[in-house]
Amino acid sequence: MKISILVPTRKRVQNVKRLIESVYNTAQNIKNIELLFYVDDDDQDTIDFFKEEEEKKRFSHLIDTKVLIEPRQENFGETNNVLFRACSGDIVMLSADDVKFGTKNWDKTVTDEFEKYPDKLVLVFGYDGIQPPGTLATHSFISRESVNILGYATPGDFGYNYADNWMTELYRQIDRLNYIPVLFEHMHWGANKAEYDETYKLGSDAPHDNSIAIWEDKERLNKDIELLRSNLT
């Protein structure tokens, strides 16, 4: 099963380099992994980085890489949906540019979990170094089948918050929330693992009312739970 790693990024070239290196150094089957980056069209530093990479091919000949240069999405959740439409994987990781892969052969552990279910309707997640293990599913993996049924990778009207809560509860309610002892370390400023930069500030300053309202809309959540449940085999 091919894995597509979806990575929205903004003005964090060093983070992008670290993520790519960590994926390459830890994956068992790098030929079966695809990296997709969403780059805002006003982020010239990151655009220049990928243009230079296209010329010098320092890593793109080792890892299948796609770069989407698009206007910045008003709702962060839609970024994952745009990336999903461009990906080719059977399994999709909802990643971020401040993630560092820390466990060898993580890709085999992930695919083994999906192989347990003929319908592939499961959410798989590891330890992010911040949340208590097995609780909130951050930087999780879902299947193409799940996205096709629900119509989204993450709800497109979510802002910067609560999408992880939504996905966690969605799969917990169908008893398909699977934790694996694999480190996908979230190098977040809130855990003193990074500087508080412009990109974090965008998330902090974003209005959260819409995300809270969506998360609290249990009728909408329950409809999606029942939609997934009706497709379990």
Residues 101-144 have pLDDT tens digits of: 999 999 999 999 999 999 999 999 999 999 999 999 999 999 99
Instruction: Calculate Rg over the CA atoms of the chain.
Output: 17
Question: Which pLDDT tens digit goes with each residue over 71-106?
Answer: 998 888 899 999 999 999 999 999 999 999 999 999
Per-residue pLDDT band at 210 (split at 50, 70, 90):
confident
| The CATH number fitting domain 3-229, selected from 1.10.760.10, 3.90.550.10, 3.30.70.990, 3.40.50.300 | 3.90.550.10
Q: How far is CA 65 from the centre of its chain?
A: 15
Three-state SS string over the chain comes to: CCEEEEEEECCCHHHHHHHHHHHHHHCCCHHHEEEEEEEECCCHHHHHHHHHHHHHCCCCCCCEEEEEEECCCCCHHHHHHHHHHHCCCCEEEECCCCEEECCCCHHHHHHHHHHCCCCCCCEEEEECCCCCCCCCCCCCEEEHHHHHHHCCCCCCCCCCCCHHHHHHHHHHCCCCEEEEEEEEEECCHHHCCCCCCHHHHHHHHCCCHHHHHHHCCHHHHHHHHHHHHCCCC
Domain ranges of the chain: 3-229
Q: pLDDT tier at 203 (50, 70, 90 boundaries)?
A: confident
